[in-house]
Amino acid sequence: MAQIALNHVTKEYNNGRIVAVNDLSLEIEDGEFLVLVGPSGCGKSTTLRMVAGLEDATEGDISIGPTRVNELEPRERDIAMVFQNYALYPHMNVRKNIGFGLQLSTDLSDTEIEERVEEAAQLLEIGELLEKKPKALSGGQQQRVALGRAIVREPEAFLFDEPLSNLDAKLRKQMRTEISRIQEQLGVTSIYVTHDQEEAMTMGDRIAVMNDGELQQIGEPNEVYNYPANLFVAGFIGSPSMNTIETEVAADGTHLEAAGGALTYDLGADDHPDPDLSPGDRVTVGVRPEDVSVRAAAEAFTDQTHRATVEVVEPLGSDNLLYFDVDGASWTARVSPAFEPEPGDEVAFSFPRDALYLFDDRGVTVESRDLTDPAEAEQVTAADGDGAATR
């Protein structure tokens, strides 16, 4: 097993006209499962392919363990890749498909190869499929065989390039759990590329969010969700996306105004550190769909009450998603399934000041929602007090 490090790595195509990856530095710890996530074209696959040795870095260093691997051939890097196209040999049974690479690339004996295949098959729970040909297998089973091929090589690292995108939604969820379980059991350092933020959130020890060839943020899933570094990350991680609205700091500097003054947000309440903003500054306000409360139009909230017309109601079973327009921006609220307004109904909505995110005019986060539960904060204070008294 090994740590993988990228140090100021850049990849250009067409004599620099396309910068696919721009000055990327990343360290993946030994045994860690890192997910590289971002929209299509942001440079994820190029990054993975550079680690694998399928692309040369234009600048920067890539190392696997203590070794700088920039000049090493893919087969000398001791990594195993898993793609969405399994490319199984149709005329070979599963046992052969899994063991074939070892026969070619190692001098392991037939018995040793057989042992590794059996172990991998057990781990993947495909023991009963070993004599079958690929065409007799489902998509999920074929993907397991492809994983088996990677596992038997006992590589320093696994590199996954959107391995589940050919599978249907249910199977994809199942395989996510499977891959996580297997990776944890084997403890092999892994980089996993996906454009699917939900996949990233559920699988990664940490996730690295990329956009336009640049790293936006790296952190544990909850950290990235709750404390996004910028507006891009805030909008990309989480489904439905964070609601946003453009505002301006009012002339007296105490609050933000949007929609010509119809929506206002206090800036300098005691429990909120006043971000360093001046009158007239443009600020984007964000609020997660689960932090928006909605009621029938006639009702009011103790926090500010706003009104909107419901455009779409999307029942998810466990909740309903309500879509409505707020000053030209489409907003979503995640509400109880018991609350089912009709499209066209007017509703009242509100959100606590604590739930707001603020982003400056460059999109950099200046304030994240406050996750301290007031009751818990009080308990902590009380416990601290007790501690002091007994000392």
User: Which residue stretch of 14-22, 257-265, 269-277, 351-359 sits at the interface with ligand ADP (rule: CB under 6 A)?
Assistant: 14-22
Give the other-Cβ count within 10 Å of 259's Cβ: 15
The CA distance from 35 to 191, in Å, is: 6
Task: Rule CB under 6 A: say whether 109 interacts with ligand ADP.
Answer: no
User: Which residue stretch of 44-52, 102-110, 226-234, 336-344 sits at the interface with ligand ADP (rule: CB under 6 A)?
Assistant: 44-52
The CA distance from 120 to 331, in Å, is: 47
Closer by beta carbon to ligand ADP, 43 or else 163? 43
Closer by beta carbon to ligand ADP, 46 or else 97? 46
| Token output for 69 | 């691997």
Contact residue for ligand ADP among 33, 44, 99, 230 (CB under 6 A): 44
Closer by beta carbon to ligand ADP, 14 or else 390? 14
Task: Rule CB under 6 A: say whether 390 interacts with ligand ADP.
Answer: no
| Token output for 354 | 């604590």
End-to-end CA distance of the chain: 46
User: Which residue stretch of 36-44, 327-335, 340-348, 375-383 sits at the interface with ligand ADP (rule: CB under 6 A)?
Assistant: 36-44
Closer by beta carbon to ligand ADP, 45 or else 244? 45
Residues 289-308 that bind ligand ADP (CB under 6 A): none
Task: Rule CB under 6 A: say whether 20 interacts with ligand ADP.
Answer: yes
Q: How many residues in the shown chain lie near ligand ADP by CB under 6 A? A: 12
The CA distance from 340 to 163, in Å, is: 38
Neighbouring-strand partners of residue 9: 24
CB 84 within 8 A of CB 162: yes
* Residue 304 beta carbon to ligand ADP: minimum distance, rounded to whole angstroms: 40
Task: Rule CB under 6 A: say whether 46 interacts with ligand ADP.
Answer: yes
Look at the alpha carbons of 125, 127, 128, 129 in this order and tell me if their dihedral is positive or negative. Answer: positive
Task: Rule CB under 6 A: say whether 56 interacts with ligand ADP.
Answer: no
For residue 366, give every residue at least 6 positions away whose Cβ sits within 8 Å of its Cβ, in sequence order, or none.
275, 276, 277, 283, 358, 359, 360
Q: Write the DSSP string, 242-289.
A: PEEEEEEE-TTSSEEEEGGGTEEEES--TTS---S--TT-EEEEEE-G
Helix 169-186 / helix 139-152 crossing angle, nearest 10 deg: 20
Closer by beta carbon to ligand ADP, 207 or else 355? 207
| Token output for 22 | 């721009």
Closer by beta carbon to ligand ADP, 46 or else 189? 46
Task: Rule CB under 6 A: say whether 43 interacts with ligand ADP.
Answer: yes
* Residue 39 beta carbon to ligand ADP: minimum distance, rounded to whole angstroms: 7
The CA distance from 151 to 186, in Å, is: 9
CB 126 within 8 A of CB 148: yes
Extended beta strands in 65-173, E state: 67-68, 79-83, 157-161
Contact residue for ligand ADP among 4, 6, 42, 358 (CB under 6 A): 42
User: Which residue stretch of 42-50, 67-75, 132-140, 374-382 sits at the interface with ligand ADP (rule: CB under 6 A)?
Assistant: 42-50
Task: Rule CB under 6 A: say whether 40 interacts with ligand ADP.
Answer: yes
* Residue 139 beta carbon to ligand ADP: minimum distance, rounded to whole angstroms: 22
User: Which residue stretch of 40-48, 74-82, 218-226, 332-340 sits at the interface with ligand ADP (rule: CB under 6 A)?
Assistant: 40-48
Task: Rule CB under 6 A: say whether 229 interacts with ligand ADP.
Answer: no
Task: Rule CB under 6 A: say whether 268 interacts with ligand ADP.
Answer: no
The CA distance from 220 to 206, in Å, is: 4
The CA distance from 91 to 133, in Å, is: 7
Which positions touch ligand ADP (CB under 6 A)?
Answer: 13-14, 18, 20, 38, 40-46
